[in-house]
Structure 1
C-alpha cells in the first residue's frame, strides 16, 4: 500500500493516475447533430485499420500504446470477437475516430477506446460520438457502462466523461515502461510527458 507523500518513479518508466468511471442507467444526452460532411458507421476492423486509427487518435498525442504492444494474434482475437463492436466517423473518405464497445463481461459494457483525430476536435463530433456510445451500449441488456482515463491522456477527457454522465468511483496509479524508449512509439510522441532515461 502506498503511503502519503512523494514516491519515486524509476527512470525509463511513465507514471499516470487512472480514474475509473461508470454509469448504471442511460445518462440523458444533449442533442448534437453530426457535423456536415461527416458520416458515422460501424466497422469490422482488420489489424491495419485498427492500428492506424488507434495511432492517429491516441498514440502520438496521448501516448496510447496498450494495443500497439499486443501480438497480432491477440489483437486479432479482440477485433474478431462478436461481443466487441467498433464504430468510426468518416470525413472525405478517411476514418477519423474510434469508438470501441466491449460487451465481453456479461451485463456490462466497457467504453474500451474513444477518441477523435485532431481533424475532428472542436467540430461537435465528439459529443455526437458519445451520444451514440451511450445509445448503443444501453441497447444491450446491461446494468453498467464503464470507462477509464488517465493523466497522460487529454486533459479534457475526464471532465468530458463526467459531463457525459459517468461517475468516478476508483483511482489508481499505474507505472509502466516508457513505450518511446523501446521504439514502440517515436520519441517525439506525447511531448507533454517528458522522457526520463535510465
Structure 2
C-alpha cells in the first residue's frame, strides 16, 4: 500500500452480548489488562501492531497528546501474551452515554495466522459488554459499537467478526498521507 492509497475503516456494530459467538482461548495465550496507564506503552503497541498496516496517523503526535489519549479514565488497554511475547492488543474506549467501542485491535505480525485473533476479539467483546451498562437510545447510537483500524486485513476480520455477531454499520474511506 502506498502512502496515497485510500484507507478503509470498517465500523462494526453489536447490539447485544448474546450475539457473541466466542472462540476458545488458544493454549499458551494470556490476555491481561494494562492497569497502570503508561502512554509510551500504548504508543509502542500501536506501532508494533499497526506498522504492517500503515497505521501512521498517531505516530507524529507529541508525548503530551499521547498521554492525554492513553491515560484517561475512558480508555482501557488489554495485551495478549504468548510465552512472554506481545501477541496483540486492543483498546476499549467508553463513550458518552455508556457506549463502549474498540478503539484499536490487532495482532503483532509474528502472531497473525495462529488462530489468536478470534479469541482476542472474543475477549474484547466480552470486556466491552462488562464495562458499565450500555443503554439503547433509539437506533443511533448503537448501545455498543466497535471501530477498528482495519485496512488490508478487513476480509479476514470480517470472516471472524460476522460469526461473532457484529454487523457492518458504516464503511469510510479517506486518503492516507503519512
Deviation at 1:158, TM superposition (A): 3.0
CA displacement, residues 12-33 of structure 1 (integer Å, 9 cap, x when unaligned): 6331233322111112323402
- 1:193 corresponds to: none
Asked if residue 104 in structure 1 is aligned to residue 95 in structure 2, the reply is: yes
- 2:146 corresponds to: 146
- 2:14 corresponds to: 23
Asked if residue 69 in structure 1 is aligned to residue 81 in structure 2, the reply is: no
Which blocks of at least 5 consecutive residues in structure 1 are unaligned? 1-10, 180-198
Deviation at 1:118, TM superposition (A): 2.5
Deviation at 1:154, TM superposition (A): 4.9
Asked if residue 92 in structure 1 is aligned to residue 83 in structure 2, the reply is: yes
- 2:176 corresponds to: 176
Distance 2:37 2:107 in 1: 17
Distance 1:163 1:105 in 2: 28
Deviation at 1:150, TM superposition (A): 4.7
Residues 46 and 163 of structure 1, relative CA distance in 2, 3 Å threshold: same
For residues 48-63 of structure 1, what are the structure 2 equivalents within 5 Å?
48-59=40-51, 61-63=52-54
**Structure number with higher helix proportion:** 2
Q: How many pairs were matched up? A: 166
Which blocks of at least 5 consecutive residues in structure 2 are unaligned? 135-142
Distance 2:56 2:4 in 1: 13
Distance 1:23 1:12 in 2: 32
- 1:46 corresponds to: 38
Query: TM-score when scaled to structure 2?
Result: 0.81
1:80 corresponds to which of 60, 64, 71: 71
Deviation at 1:82, TM superposition (A): 1.4
Q: Which runs of 4+ in 1 moved over 4 A?
A: none
Distance 1:105 1:160 in 2: 28
2:105 corresponds to which of 114, 117, 131: 114
RMSD: 2.2
Residues 104 and 153 of structure 1, relative CA distance in 2, 3 Å threshold: same
Deviation at 1:45, TM superposition (A): 4.2
Query: TM-score when scaled to structure 1?
Result: 0.73
